[in-house]
Structure 1
Amino acid sequence: MALRTPPQQLVDTIHALHQRGWCDGTGGNFSVVLEHSPLRLLMAPSGVDKGLVQADQLIEVDAQGTVVKGEGKASAETLLHLQVIHDCNAGSVLHTHSPAATLLSKHHAASGSLRLEGWEMLKGLEGIDTHDTSVSVPIIANDQNLKSLSATASKHLPGKAHGLLVAGHGLYAWGKTLNDARRHVEILEFLLDLHWRESLLLGRW
Structure 2
Amino acid sequence: MTEQLISVSSAQDGAWKTAVTQIIRAGERMDQRGWVPATAGNISVRLADGRIAVTRSGGHKGFLTPEGVIEIDLTGNPLLPGDRPSAETLLHCQIYAHFPHTGAVLHGHSIAATVLSMRTKERALYLADYEVLKVFEGQSTHATRVAVPIFSNDQDIARLARSVSLFLDEMKAGYIIQGHGVYVWGPDMDTALARLEGLEFLLACELERLKLSPSFQGM
Is the TM value for this pair above 0.5? yes
- 2:103 corresponds to 1:100: no
* In 1: Cα distance, 2:161 partner to 2:34 partner: 26
Partner of 2:193: 182
SS at match of 1:75: coil
* In 1: Cα distance, 2:185 partner to 2:215 partner: 30
Q: Which runs of 4+ in 1 moved over 2 A?
A: 69-72, 158-162, 202-205
Aligned residues: 201
* In 2: Cα distance, 1:141 partner to 1:169 partner: 9
Q: Is the 8 A contact 1:91 1:177 kept in 2?
A: yes
TM-score scaled by structure 1? 0.92
Partner of 1:200: 211
* In 2: Cα distance, 1:118 partner to 1:173 partner: 20
Indicate which of 129, 132, 142 corresponds to 2:153.
Answer: 142
Partner of 1:191: 202
> Percent same amino acid among aligned pairs?
38
- Alpha carbons of 1:155 and 1:48: their partners in 2 closer, same or farther (altered >3 Å)? same
1:71 CA drift (Å): 5.5
Indicate which of 12, 15, 18 corresponds to 1:5.
Answer: 18
Higher percent of residues as helix? 2
Partner of 1:42: 53
* In 1: Cα distance, 2:25 partner to 2:89 partner: 20
Q: Is the 8 A contact 2:113 2:200 kept in 1?
A: yes
Q: Is the 8 A contact 1:58 1:72 kept in 2?
A: no
SS at match of 1:95: strand
Where do 1:68-83 residues align within 5 Å? 68-69=79-80, 72-83=83-94
Q: Is the 8 A contact 2:45 2:103 kept in 1?
A: yes
1:14 CA drift (Å): 0.9
* In 1: Cα distance, 2:189 partner to 2:82 partner: 23
* In 1: Cα distance, 2:31 partner to 2:106 partner: 12
Higher percent of residues as strand? 1
Indicate which of 121, 144, 159 corresponds to 2:132.
Answer: 121
Pairwise CA RMSD = 1.9
- Alpha carbons of 1:204 and 1:165: their partners in 2 closer, same or farther (altered >3 Å)? farther
- 2:34 corresponds to 1:21: yes
In the alignment, residue 148 of structure 1 is paired with which amino acid? R
